[in-house]
Amino acid sequence: MKTILKLNGDIEQYADGTIKESALSPVFLNILEEEFDVVKTPYIPKIGDKIYFLPGVNIPRVKLKKLILDYNIKIVKNIEDSTVIFGSVYTKSKLIEREWEYATSLEVFKMSYAALKPSMDVYYSSKVDTALEFYTGDSVCLNWQSVGTLADETLSIYKNLTTNPGDAIKNARSSLHLDVIKSSYIPIMQFLEDNPQVIFDDSELIAHINGDDAILINAEVYEQLCNMFKSSDTDNHVLAMEIMSNSNYKESLLYLQLIFKEHSRRIGDSHTKNHVNFKSLLSYLGKDNYNLGSDLDTIVNSLKDKGVLTVEKLTILMDKYHTEISSQGNTHFFNVKNITISDEIAAIVNSNFVYNVKEYFIPVEIIQTEEPAIAEETPIQWL
């Protein structure tokens, strides 16, 4: 976390370059410098864990009941009391506000400010003086109007100076995006900076909530849910989404993703997508209300990340979508290897002609070594 001095200003000038009125109000911005990492490392519950949820975590508290009882886990309101912290893909966007700022070096600004200060009301200049006294950064931010005015080398306040600050600001100013931490979350970010630790992805906790006793979405249930989404009755859509929310996410992952691929529009039109249970599912899948669809690469990547990618699941995808792949061509995870001919042409050339676009992968032979047999000892013969 880095602190940057921002000066919100309103500097008015006459046509001849004379300053008419000026005001600069200092504000300190707390900036998130490094990437905010939420780690998808398996969470193993421990007796007495004290869990803190960062903003953006969507886990229904009622679903934590069994975990709380089994492990004597507590959900704490203060991050200082926690032993385990959970975040989500939405946490960063909740903690910050993205701002577009205009910056210049502190040294150049001080030159300009020294010339501007006599035209400022002491109410404003005293605040700027106090801010500069304690500021240790090497640059300051200004709003667009102020940096534009101060970069005007024809300002009357610059006329008698050896070095023209306007010219220096014109050459030194830059524009940039800043991740500004919201004031209410500064204590949290300060704690995390002072106490570096793993921040678990909330999907790792969800895996313990919707466990073996939850609904398993298999091929049969998938077809039933698809029929519910095809219905014109929106109550069926709501019920289907509730079933998805209460399923065993990991074991149902393939069919959950297939539902999002086929019925994301229906899901997007339903108010149920904003229910905390369904948001929990979206978080597990790395989705949000603006990104509900699933293409084939997204599905495979999800199966891979959750450790449930198998040949059987790839076969299911191929059975359903081989025509789509053939028409669209290669994707990140799927390549078209062969081109064959129609039955009509095959009959003419009398051949099952196949053209290999890409060489086949040769599986690595895994040799299982047997432990050497232990030779039996020859019995000792006593004479």
Beta-strand relationship, 174-181 and 96-105:
antiparallel
Question: What span, in angstroms and rounded, lies between the C-alpha atoms of 330 and 307?
Answer: 24
Percent of the chain scoring above 90 in pLDDT: 31
Judge whether 178 and 31 are in contact, CB under 8 Å: yes
3-state secondary structure the chain: CEEEEEEEEEEEECCCCCEEEEEEEEEEEEECCCCCCCECCCCCCCCCCEEEECCCCCCCHHHHHHHHHHHCCEECCCHHHCCEEEECCCHHHHHEEEEEEEEEEHHHHHHHHHHHHHHCCHHHHHHHHHHHHHCCCCEEEECHHHHHHHCCCCCHHHCCCCCCHHHHHHHHCEEEEEEEECHHHHHHHHHHHHCCCCEEEHHHHHHHHCCCCCECCCHHHHHHHHHHHHCCCHHHHHHHHHHHHCECCCCCHHHHHHHHHHHHHHHHHCHHHHCHHHHHHHHHHCCECCECCCCHHHHHHHHHHCCCCCHHHHHHHHHHHHHHHHHHCCCCCCCCCEEECCHHHHHHHCCCCEEECCCCCCCCCCCCCCCCCCCCCCCCCCC
Cα angle value 294/300/304 (rounded, 5°): 130
Q: What is the mean pLDDT of residues 226-234?
A: 92
pLDDT band at residue 173 under the 50/70/90 scheme: confident
Quick one: which of 56, 12, 9 has its CA closest to 286? 56
pLDDT band at residue 280 under the 50/70/90 scheme: confident
Question: What span, in angstroms and rounded, lies between the C-alpha atoms of 285 and 281?
Answer: 6
pLDDT band at residue 277 under the 50/70/90 scheme: confident
Question: What span, in angstroms and rounded, lies between the C-alpha atoms of 90 and 92?
Answer: 6
Tell me how far CA of residue 304 lies from CA of 201, 222, 292, 307, 349, in angstroms.
16, 21, 19, 5, 43
Judge whether 209 and 65 are in contact, CB under 8 Å: no
Cα 51 from chain centroid (whole Å) = 21
* Whether residue 270 has pLDDT greater than 80: yes
Give φ, ψ of 317 to 5 degrees: -65, -40
pLDDT band at residue 237 under the 50/70/90 scheme: very high
Q: What is the mean pLDDT of residues 167-176?
A: 83
Percent of the chain scoring above 70 in pLDDT: 90
* Structure confidence by residue, pLDDT tens digits, 336-373: 777 777 888 888 888 888 777 766 667 776 666 555 55
Q: What integer pLDDT is reported at residue 16 of this predicted model? A: 61
pLDDT band at residue 217 under the 50/70/90 scheme: very high
* Structure confidence by residue, pLDDT tens digits, 110-153: 988 888 888 888 888 899 999 999 898 888 988 888 888 888 88
Q: What integer pLDDT is reported at residue 381 of this predicted model? A: 41
pLDDT: which is higher, 159 or 110: 110
Q: What integer pLDDT is reported at residue 21 of this predicted model? A: 64
Q: What is the mean pLDDT of residues 266-280?
A: 90
* Structure confidence by residue, pLDDT tens digits, 7-48: 887 777 666 656 666 778 888 889 887 777 788 788 899 999
* Whether residue 180 has pLDDT greater than 60: yes
Q: What integer pLDDT is reported at residue 252 of this predicted model? A: 94
* Structure confidence by residue, pLDDT tens digits, 88-106: 888 888 999 988 888 888 9
Using CA atoms of 210, 212, 217, 220 in order, give the dihedral in degrees to the nearest 10: -160
pLDDT band at residue 379 under the 50/70/90 scheme: very low
pLDDT band at residue 244 under the 50/70/90 scheme: very high
* Mean residue pLDDT across the chain: 84
Alpha carbons within 13 A on the beta-carbon side of 370? 3
Q: What integer pLDDT is reported at residue 61 of this predicted model? A: 74
Q: What integer pLDDT is reported at residue 360 of this predicted model? A: 65
CB neighbours of 211 closer than 8 A, spacing ≥ 6? 248
